[in-house]
Amino acid sequence: MQFTKMHGAGNDYLYVNAFAETLPADIPSLAVAMSDRHKGVGSDGLILICPSEKADARMRMFNADGSEAEMCGNGIRCVAKYVYDHDIARKETIAIETQCGVLTLQVFPKAGKVEQVRVNMGRPIFNAADIPTQLPGNPPLNAELEVAGRELKVTCISMGNPHCITFVEEITDEWVLGVGPQIERHEAFPNRVNAEFVQVISPEELVMRVWERGSGETQACGTGACAVAVAGALTGQSGRDVLIHLPGGDLRLEWSDTDEVFMTGPAAEIFTGDWPVSDDA
């Protein structure tokens, strides 16, 4: 089975063209095996590019632990690049079906290959039950959360998948690697949660690191960056148009007057390869 490794701001996934490839029955186990950074190819997860009856392609995304997620902002930019570069839909406005609905992406080709993609990520979800979280508020803003003996002030938002944002004076490994996993599996989040830690540089500029549900720390998280931009605006930490610096690169976020969040960022193809699969894999 042929795969392509791609990344969006360092958030790396393995992509399989399901238009052309025959997939094994057990996709979660395939995702775990391929994503292993010591015994597999190594990635934050597996993304399938599938035919769609309502869009140019459909995206299915599996974390490195095999769990299927609703959306991936960096991943969907790479899907749009693949769809354009590999002639599945050679047009500059591309529709991709996800578990969160059909999203529209604008690609910016250079010399026939896409380098940047702008995504309409849709409207943020504020209702606590739909995020989902048991914390009070719709959405919970600066809500109290006790984690690892700390009293945190967190803001929770869904961009189709759940996010818990904590603004801190300085982002450290202790926050991301120590507190992050405990937030992910905190009882306040019945479906687990992505944990973002954010440092404010100015109202127009933020720094962010993320502990992703099912994958651990990643170099970037697109839906997380969207949630952070919205949380910053709601709590007065930032404006509605911000540049967010992540370990893997920068993302530009705009929370528009129509309530839709637009994200612009890079998409890059790294290499292709073949993965051996059997019918019962």
Q: So which residues are the catalytic ones?
A: 72, 221
Helix (H) or strand (E) run with residue 244 in it? strand 241-246
DSSP one-letter code for 213: T
| Residue 35 and residue 44 in contact, taking contact as beta carbons nearer than 8 Å | yes
- Could you identify the residue written with the tokens 């052309």? 20
**Which positions ≥6 away from 128 have C-beta within 8 Å?**
134, 135, 136, 137, 138, 139, 140, 156
HEC per residue, 104-161: EEEEEEECCEEEEEEEECCCCECCHHHCCCCCCCCCCCCEEEEECCEEEEEEEEECCC
| Residue 221 and residue 212 in contact, taking contact as beta carbons nearer than 8 Å | yes
Whole-number Å distance between alpha carbons of 168 and 62:
30
73: phi then psi, degrees, rounded to nearest 5? -65, -45
Instruction: At 29, list the tokens.
Output: 């186990």
CA angle 218–159–225, rounded 5-degree value:
45
8-36 as b/e: b if 16+ CB within 10 A: bbbbbbbbbbeeeeeeeeebeebbbbbbe
